[in-house]
Amino acid sequence: MSALLITHGTLVTWGTENQILSDHAIYIEDGIIQAIGPSPILIKQYPDAIVLDAKGQLVMPGSICAHTHFYGAYSRGMAIPGDPPPDFPAVLNQLWWPLDKALDADSVKASALVCLVDAIKHGTTTLVDHHASPNAIEGSLDIIADAVRDAGLRAVLCYEVTDRDGKEKMHAGIAENVRFMTAASDPLIRGTFGLHASLTLDDDTLRACVDAIPDGGGFHIHVAEHEADEEDSLARSGKRVVQRLDDYGIWRENTIAAHCVHIDETERQILQQRGVWVTHQPRSNMNNGVGAANIDHFMAEGMKLCLGNDGFSNNMWADWKAAYLMHKVVNRDPRRANGADIATMATINNARLVEQFFPEQRIGELSVGAEADIIFVDYKPFTPLTAGNLPWHMIFGFESSMVTSTIVQGRVLMQDRQLLTLDEAEIMAQAFELAPMVWEQYTRNARNALQSG
């Protein structure tokens, strides 16, 4: 891998002590940041490096998405048969479950690729994906991994185990997770063990998953996204979701609990005691009308709270903005969701989460020895920009169109808004060609679900 020298950047370092450094340079070798210093000094020190001139743009760590669903790409613009779903269980039954059943190997690949194009263009360099394709389970994670590899991004992948499609497919989902997790590791791709949610997992399935997971592995599961998850758990076990899953050993220091909108204080304490990572998806929560997690309390109590997008666009700054605004209106209190807390979730906490899967690597900061996952942002502030007020500049000033270059592990994936690793036009054309088949199959599945419901 060639040495790369980024020059004349306004560096935003993030990390535990964020700094903004004017006219600085970054020297990268073997995908790692080897030196940081004033541009004139590093230009003289590394005369043979390939130079990428930032021209005064902000140079900062790439964004990280802590919870997403590539397979949802084909939902864009799609009509849902029947009356509009009145609540989240109906959304699952009329939209997501019929859609994931409509996917085959080709559409799994296409949905991943369009999301990866979107991620590169929006400066999101690492994604934690949660996949489901009940009629194309075996090898589905390899298909997604190949797409991630072609894109050059960093990702953590899993398959969603559930009982909703029968025991044969449940066991196939377990096998897909185990196979992928135990396969030879890729420098930029890791696996974890996906579970849907307590409400679609019976006791025998939970035991089977815990028995099958490779040593040291963790789970990635939806938790209390809607009250129905809690109601189901109470009916099954007499316990709330977190307590029920705790009995089976689901909660580990590398387990991800997505949403946690309706957990109570006892459940929160269990998650904190077990060291579980909780992810917040504000755009999705608003769209599904499920409510708002108590993120201010989570942060005040020192929870490991992260930020995801749940399959929305990979413009993570949109979720910064949504989180900042959502909790103010829900609570009718402008003090909620402080910008500094949003920044901590999205940068420091998201980076520490990803490091659970890349334990030998330092991610999400510009420092010597860190992974060179970097973006350029063409943001020209008209008020003072400091390390202290940066979160509010990002929430009120940053737009996704301002990302001009994206780099992962020292490899340039986009330069001056030109994609270098993926052919966007070809990918979009291929995805568009498959769309009528996916939509037709989805519509049949959705109508069947309405009739059976």
CATH no., domain 63-355: 3.20.20.140
Please determine, looking at this structure, whether the domain spanning 4-62+364-419 carries the CATH number 3.40.50.300. Answer: no
pLDDT at 16: 83
Mean pLDDT of 278-298: 97
pLDDT at 266: 98
Portion of the chain with pLDDT greater than 70, in percent: 100
User: What CA–CA distance (Å, rounded) separates 309 from 65?
Assistant: 7
User: What CA–CA distance (Å, rounded) separates 221 from 240?
Assistant: 15
Query: Has residue 49 got a pLDDT over 80?
Result: yes
Q: Half-sphere exposure of residue 49, counting CA atoms within 13 Å on the CB side?
A: 22
> Which residue type does 23 have?
D
Mean pLDDT of 329-347: 97
Residue 445, SS3 per DSSP? helix
User: What CA–CA distance (Å, rounded) separates 350 from 14?
Assistant: 12
pLDDT in tens, 351-383: 999 999 999 999 999 999 999 999 999 999 999
pLDDT in tens, 72-101: 999 999 999 999 999 999 999 999 999 999
Query: Has residue 185 got a pLDDT over 80?
Result: no
The pTM is what?
A: 0.97
pLDDT at 59: 98
pLDDT at 2: 78
Query: Has residue 1 got a pLDDT over 80?
Result: no
Taking the domains of the chain in order of start, what are their residue ranges?
Answer: 4-62+364-419, 63-355
Q: Half-sphere exposure of residue 143, counting CA atoms within 13 Å on the CB side?
A: 23
Query: Which two structure tokens, joined as six digits, stand for 251?
Result: 């909660």
Nearest to 403 by CA among 123, 148, 150, 208: 123
